[in-house]
Structure 1
Amino acid sequence: MKLEKYENLHETFPVVLFLTLAGGFQDAYSYHMRGNVFANAQTGNIVLLFKNIVDFNLSEMIKYLVPLFAFVLGVYIASRYEDYHKLNKLKWRQIILIFEIIFMIVVSFVPSSHNNIANAILSFVCAMQVYSFKKIYGLNFATTMCIGNLRSATENLAKYHITNDDKYLSASKKYYAVILIFGIGAGFGYYFSNIFGLNSILIAALSLCVALFIMFFG
């Protein structure tokens, strides 16, 4: 994909690349290493939650309720944090990324016997990322999930075929690229989880460090 200059650095493709790689990695890590729970894909957690409600399986219900509540809390706090730090010289999105990196490092030390805690932390920071990074070159998108991106990619592709307006084709390519990157991140998450176990989340943290570096010095 052609890299474009853009006034909001956090919306540029290089930043989105590493954020999305981390997003896919986190979902694969949490599902593969933390008890089949999704850090990002809360739709999947809701489906599994209500399956266990039907089965009257209390322990499994709690396992899926925890990341859901943590995700809601993460979005709420990120929203309040944005409002509070509007005048801060260090932009609030960079602070969010710093918190996310720190929390991921913490998760790497959480044993598998406390997966609920690890999943709560991951869902919390993923929610903060979802809220904080919502655009690529002015287009609405998500770095931690795919369904909205897939809808937007296909909608813009259809509009291109209707109008022959290249702006829709460009938008569609961006969305499909983000989906592909997310999938690659998920593949990395599965692969490296098999090698490094619980500590593999540090690779996602490293990806966020690269995004943070670009935002400071790009």
Structure 2
Amino acid sequence: MKLKSYENLHETFLVIVFITLAGGFQDAYSYLMRGRVFANAQTGNIVLLFKNIVDLNFKESIAYLIPVLSFALGVYLAVRFEDAIEKRVLHWRQYVIGFEIIIMILVAMIPKSLDNLANALLSFSCAMQVYSFKKIHGLNFATTMCIGNLRSATENLSKYHITKQEVYLENAKKYYTVILIFGLGAALGYLTSKGLGIKSILIAAGLLAISFFILFLEEHGQA
């Protein structure tokens, strides 16, 4: 079923499924294969950053500072990108997904000795994704982290028990489902990283490519 406007195609659940799977995958991949640094969970990186600063372990501090700064840069440039790019052949969000796919391919070719570079690229990519895809049918979601989704899910569940309004229960189900999908993406990242090593990030690229293809079909289906 097509939506009325291309502007909210990125909110369709099918698109969010593959993007969120990729988000969970990237976090597992960066932690397991790239020096126990999180691509998405910048809160964890900041905690470990300041822990290493206190320990005067400045080399390790840099490893956690780089993804934090890259994430911030990714959000900043995604906002600028949205403002600058006019819709031509594709929508600006499709360009973002395409750029993410290119980043994943590059990361797959970066050796372990350059983990800091790989993590910087992954955090930059995740930041662009978290800015570009942040709603499902009007609800605010995060496709690369869980804390906000968990808060919103439980808030809606509590409101349902207070008001008995079904809309709150449906909202809670959507949020909990996205959290589950993220977890499944992380599990997939864990399983494939063990077998494929640093090349496993190409699976995340494939998941993003599916989202890109869905948007592409929808766009031309409305023409």
Aligned mates of 1:133, 1:55 — CA distance in 2: 37
One-letter amino acid matched to 1:125:
S
What SS does the corresponding residue of 1:36 show, helix, strand or coil?
Answer: coil
* 8 Å CA contact 1:6, 1:137 repeated in 2: no
Match of 2:221 in 1: none
Distance 2:27 2:87 in 1: 33
Structure 1 residue 166, shift from structure 2 partner? 0.9
After TM superposition, give the deviation of residue 87 of structure 1 in Å.
4.4
Residue 119 of structure 2 aligns to a residue whose secondary structure is helix
Equivalent position of 2:15 in the other structure: 15
Amino acid at match of 1:72: A
**Structure 2 matches for 1:38-53, cutoff 5 A?**
38-53=38-53
Residues 4 and 87 (structure 1), Cα distance of their counterparts in 2 relative to 1, 3 Å cut: closer
Query: Counterpart of 1:204?
Result: 204
Q: What secondary structure sits across from 2:109 in the alignment? A: coil
1:147 maps to: 147
Aligned residues: 216
Tell me the equivalent position of 2:166: 166
Counterpart of 1:65 in structure 2 is: 65
Matches within 5 A, 1:63-142: 63-142=63-142
- Normalising by structure 1, report the TM-score: 0.96
Matched to 1:23, the amino acid is: G
RMSD over aligned Cα atoms: 1.3
The residue aligned with 1:181 is 181
Q: Secondary structure of the residue that 1:104 maps to in structure 2?
A: helix
What residue identity is the alignment partner of 2:95?
I
- Counterpart-to-counterpart distance in 1, 2:80 and 2:60: 31
Amino acid corresponding to residue 212 of structure 2 in structure 1: L
Per-residue CA distance 1:142-177 (angstroms, 9 max, x = gap): 000000000000000111111111111111100000
Task: Provide the identity percentage.
Answer: 65
- Give the drift of 1:88: 3.8
- The alpha-carbon deviation at position 85 of structure 1 amounts to 1.5
TM-score (structure 2 length as normaliser): 0.94
Mapped partners of 2:17, 2:163: distance in 1: 29
Deviations 1:41-72 (A, max 9, x none): 00000000000000000110000010011000
Structure 2 counterpart SS, 1:155: helix
What letter matches 1:138 in structure 2? G
What's the counterpart of residue 56 of structure 1? 56
Alpha-carbon separation, structure 2, partners of 1:86 and 1:149: 31
CA distance, structure 2, for counterparts of residue 31 and residue 213 of structure 1:
28
Runs (5+) with no aligned partner, structure 1? none
Check 1:168–1:4 CA distance in 2 against 1; reply closer, same or farther (3 A cut). Answer: farther
**Structure-2 residue corresponding to 1:36:** 36
